[in-house]
Structure 1
Amino acid sequence: MSFKNFKCVPKMIFGRGSFVQLDVVLGQERKEANDFVVFLVDDVHQGKPLADRVPTKAHDLLIYVNVDEEPTTEQVDGFTAQVKAFNTTLPVSVVGLGGGSTMDLAKAVSLMLTNPGSSSEYQGWDLIKNPAVHHIGIPTVSGTGAEASRTAVLCGPVRKLGLNSDYTVFDQIIMDSELIAGVPTDQWFYTGMDCFIHCVESLQGTYLNEFAKAFAEKSMDLCRQVFLDDHAEKDDKLMMASYMGGMSIAYSQVGACHAVSYGLGYVLGYHHGIGNCLAFNVLEEFYPEGVTEFRKMMKIHNITLPKNICKDLPDETIAKMVAVTKSMGPLWDNVYGKGWEEKVTDEMLTKLFRRI
């Protein structure tokens, strides 16, 4: 029997105001006078106070990235080419500052700077051959667990799938809960629900073990304090819930909601957070208690999901979503175990999508 040899983030800083230490952390990577850093920053911060606090040097490369749409392999390849055109040497670090999409882009660029070809060639599990450039993740929205995960989820030419490898894991993360203040309520909720759903899927999956259970149960407890109790320290709690939710699925797996959400995201372009919420809301057959609690959280925070978005779509559009969702083998294995292929039918998935 083989056990997962799981790699986790080796260095992390947590605490309000800890973003100020980024310059010191980067100083440890800058060995020569011409060493440079690449900063990928969500363009929502452009022209805002946080942008002025990014510790860039004159010879660094700062790229504002737009993540209005889900991140793509094309975007990654474009940023990688931009970095290579900027300097003939490799950067000493790639910093991702933003939500899950921005952090995934930073992870992917750090990988593609040292691996040949297009990032679309590495969508899958353990296809990356060469170690990445040193990379740092700094979340400004909490919930995705991207800061903890071994994947960089991208929409490619064929499907939405991550660059899953040990080399994808950040070398350093900085978790400063001050940075998530001011996030619009809808985005805060949708991204936070990604974390809640991670825990539900992990705790009810066939891959569950005590390692994953310990992180998921604590993360779930923190999510309840944030979304049901409106705790005074909810920003700190959500940031830790996100990290622990990411750790939980790292040693287990997500499930039906993420599989359906990938279909929605790839074909209709829904962002991961709201895509998960749309999918989860019709999965009471899979996760009855979790869906009940989710709907209670939606009511408390006055969240209204779009309705009937798939009801009248052409059959061929639904078929595309079904194909993407059905291809998520490890996720369905976590739901049903061996023999999942007999249960995950086109008919079953079509009915689910028509209800969204």
Structure 2
Amino acid sequence: MIKNFRTVPNIVFGKGCFYQLDNIIDKRRQYTDSWVAFLVDDVFVATELESRIPQHDDDLLIWVNVDDEPKTTYVDRLTLEVHNHSRTLPCAVIGIGGGSTMDLAKAVSLMLTNSGCSHEYQGWDLIKNQGIYHIGIPTLSGTGAEVSRTTVLTGPERKLGINSDYTVFDQVILDPNLIKDVPGLQRFYTGMDCYIHCIESLQGTFINTFSRAYGEKALELCRNVFLDDEPESEEKLMMASYFGGMSIAYSQVGACHALSYGLSYILGTRHGVGCCIAFDYLEEFYPEGVKEFREMMKRNYINLPRNIISRVNEEQLEKMISVALSLDPLWENCLGKNWKEIMTREKARSLYLKM
């Protein structure tokens, strides 16, 4: 069977389109007691963006903190806060921020209509009920969270997404003005998440014409932004993120993302940083991609963190390896169906020890 996957049904793109948010939400406010839950990255407290959020009297605005990678326990706390705000469920959940904030909004939307704790749904197609209508508004570009069917969370046992057709946003608003003031280092690391998505997708065993079409265009746009420094780079990076996310909808990421999950679970390494650290040691699997990545680092004056594994004890290293090797689809995409014969625990260990 060929996968019948869901994509974002409604998209607004263009400078200044954030101002259309109130009109879009208004269509969801069907009753006098309808209300909206806004989950917004707390870096925007007391900024211009705060004043532009179209919050009505009964709405709930939650400032979320994403200094650490999103955890299932945090999702459960946020869900409870939304539940406690009113006797009725919100008519919409809106995530405004980078990939982590958007992932939290997606997860809360799902947990408002599915019982239990969020860690119970880490995996593929475990969600049973459609979530609350949810909107994603990226203020960083690169992760592809605005278009993906997953919300990546660190649970009690592992870092793994809630992967479901219900996870996909119902609406995204792509306003390049929202990413124009992102600090250069953060812009690079989130942008490289997109670049690495494309390399892993295009060189994977799951590749097909659909994924290739999106991946090749996203790769071209990443090169425009990080090698050529072309004008309108915000718009190009925003579309690279979108296309990069679409490129893995019918394929998958690979070795770099698997290894980065282990780094994040044990060390709390931010996703984009972890991907860059891991990718720099994967010439064996992605030789041309790593070469080009290093040129991008050079042109953007990036110095990666080194020797981070020196802080890890033997028990933590073993857990890190287990987390990475639990992601079967990623390794199969990278190495084929016999990947376990190639990526042994000892091989994974040797890669980690280089970092």
The normalised TM-score by structure 2 is 0.99
Q: Does the 8 Å contact 1:177/1:236 carry over to 2?
A: yes
Residues 1:209 and 2:208 are matched in the alignment: yes
Match in the other structure for 2:276: 277
CA separation in 1, counterparts of 2:12 and 2:238? 12
Residues 34-68 of structure 1 show CA distances to partners (whole Å, capped at 9, x for unaligned) of 10000000001111101110000010000000000
How far, CA to CA, are the matches of 1:43 and 1:222 in structure 2? Answer: 29
The whole-number CA distance in structure 2 between the counterparts of 1:189 and 1:75 is: 27
Percent identity of equivalent pairs: 60
In 2, the alpha carbon distance for the partners of 1:274 and 1:88 equals 41
Report Cα offsets for 1:56-86 as digits up to 9, x if no partner.
0010000000000000000100000001111
Pair 303,36 (structure 1): closer, same or farther in 2 beyond 3 Å: same
Mapping of residues 186-201 of structure 1, within 5 Å = 186-201=185-200
Letter matched to residue 228 of structure 1: L
Q: Give the CA deviation at 1:13.
A: 0.2
Structure 1: any 5+ residue segments left out of the alignment?
A: none
Aligned to 1:235: 234
C-alpha separation in 1, matches of 2:74 and 2:311: 31
> Are the equivalent residues in 2 in contact too, given 1:93–1:134 (CA < 8 A)?
yes
Alignment RMSD (CA, Å)? 0.7
**Offset of residue 264 of structure 1:** 0.3
Deviation at 1:181, TM superposition (A): 1.4
Aligned to 2:326: 327
Residue equivalent to 2:150: 151
CA distance in 2, matches of 1:250, 1:88: 37
The corresponding residue for 2:178 is: 179
Aligned residues: 355
Confirm or deny: 8 A CA contact 1:40 1:64 kept in the other structure: yes
Aligned-partner residue type, residue 134 of structure 1: Y
Look up the equivalent residue of 1:88 and give its one-letter code.
Answer: R
Residue aligning to 1:13: 12
Counterpart code for 1:138: I
Instruction: Classify the secondary structure of the residue corresponding to 2:245.
Output: helix
Take 2:258 and 2:304, find their aligned partners in 1: how far apart are those partners? 19
Partner of 2:52: 53
Residue number in structure 1 paired with 2:253: 254
Aligned equivalents of 1:317 and 1:6: distance in 2?
36
**d(CA) in 2 for partners of 1:305, 1:105:** 27
Hey, what's the Cα distance between the residues in 2 that align with 1:87 and 1:245? 38
Aligned structure 1 segments of 4 or more residues deviating by more than 3 angstroms: none
- Amino acid in the other structure paired with 2:113: T
Equivalent-residue separation in structure 2 for 1:184 and 1:278 (angstroms): 19
Query: Over residues 223-282 of structure 1, what are the superposed CA-to-partner deviations in whole Å (9 max), with x where a residue is unaligned?
Result: 000000111110000000000000000110000000000000011000111010011011
Task: Measure the CA separation in 1 of the matches of 2:313 and 2:154.
Answer: 22
1:136 is matched with: 135
CA distance in 2, matches of 1:67, 1:314: 26
Counterpart Cα distance in 2 of 1:344 and 1:302? 32
Q: Is the 8 A contact 1:311 1:355 kept in 2?
A: no
Distance in 2, Cα, partners of 1:266 & 1:321? 7
Aligned residue for 2:308, secondary structure, equals coil
Which runs of 5 or more structure 2 residues have no equivalent in the other structure? none
User: How far apart, in 2, do the equivalents of 1:92 and 1:137 lie?
Assistant: 15
In 1, Cα distance between the equivalents of 2:299 and 2:190?
16
Structure 1 position 312, deviation (Å): 5.9
State yes or no: 1:295 paired with 2:294.
Answer: yes
Q: Which amino acid aligns with 1:172?
A: Q
The alignment status of 1:26 with 2:25, answered yes or no, reads yes
Q: Which amino acid aligns with 1:113?
A: L
Equivalent position SS for 1:183: coil
Q: Which amino acid aligns with 2:281?
A: V
Change (3 A) 1:312 1:169: closer
Correspondence for 1:97: 96
1:310 is paired with a residue of what secondary structure?
helix
